[in-house]
């Protein structure tokens, strides 16, 4: 759709959308320019991730919500490391929590740990070991949920490198 040949072989002026993926825009545009107007297209998890990134960036709230819901239901699912990175990019606690809980049940490679960062890796290891990390401000002294771990307005959780 976005790679159609130009008339007369001359390049037309281009519009650069920094950070946007063609995959995301193609999926969004296919909603409007479908060959079968009465059937919605079926998207892969990568396409839903692309739609989610674009809809978040351009504040398409209803499409963003639909993309979040669909990404969680899509089979086969998005790679969980990619889901962590996407959740961090769009600040979505629900996707972050699902991805971290799933990663806590599997082995994490060194490269994956580097990509998700120390704080997320620590959260996943804490879930894996079922040992809540220490919280500086809670009277009990532990952070017992992913929501607590991810909260930016809440308490600050200690991690291994603070």
- 124 CB-side CA count, 13 A: 24
Same domain? For 33 and 55 the reply is: yes
Same domain, yes or no: 86 and 69 = no
CA nearest to 137, candidates 123, 151, 125: 151
In the chain, how many domains are there?
2
pLDDT digits (tens, 9 = 90+) for 85-116: 999 999 999 999 999 999 999 999 999 999 99
Mean pLDDT of the chain: 81
- The residue segments making up the domain with residue 132 are 79-162
Classified as helix, coil or strand, 138 is coil
Within-domain flag for 28: yes
Q: Is the pLDDT of residue 137 over 70?
A: no
Residue 65 belongs to a domain: yes
Residues 122 and 159 in one domain: yes
Is residue 90 a part of any domain in this protein?
Answer: yes
Contact of 112 with 82, CB cutoff 8 Å: no
Cα 54 to chain centroid, rounded: 12
Determine, yes or no, domain membership for 63. Answer: yes
Residue 2 maps to a domain: no
For 145, phi then psi, to 5°, come to -135, 160
CA 135: distance to chain centroid?
A: 26
162 in the same domain as 83: yes
69 and 38 in a common domain? yes
pLDDT at 62 over 80: yes
The answer as to whether 96 is a domain residue is: yes
6-20 as b/e, with b when 16 or more CB fall inside 10 Å?
A: eeeeeeeeeeeeeee
Is 43's pLDDT higher than 60? yes
Do 84 and 160 fall within a single domain? yes
**Does 99 reside within a domain?**
yes
**114 within some domain:** yes
Q: Are 104 and 27 in a shared domain?
A: no
Average pLDDT over residues 73-79: 95
């Amino acid at each position: 759709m976005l790679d159609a040949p130009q008339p007369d072989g001359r390049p037309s002026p281009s519009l650069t959308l920094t950070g946007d993926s063609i995959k995301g825009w193609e999926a969004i545009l296919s909603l409007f320019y479908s060959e079968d107007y009465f059937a919605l297209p079926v998207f892969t998890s990568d396409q839903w991730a692309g739609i989610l990134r674009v809809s978040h960036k351009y504040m398409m709230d209803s499409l963003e919500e639909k993309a979040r819901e669909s990404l969680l239901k899509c089979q086969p699912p998005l790679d969980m490391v990619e889901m962590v990175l996407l959740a961090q990019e769009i600040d979505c606690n629900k996707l972050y929590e699902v991805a971290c809980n799933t990663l806590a049940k599997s082995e994490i490679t060194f490269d994956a740990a580097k990509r998700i960062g120390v704080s997320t890796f620590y959260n996943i290891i804490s879930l894996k070991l079922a040992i809540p990390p220490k919280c500086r401000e809670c009277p009990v002294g532990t952070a017992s949920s992913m929501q607590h771990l991810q909260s930016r307005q809440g308490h600050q959780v200690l991690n291994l490198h603070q």
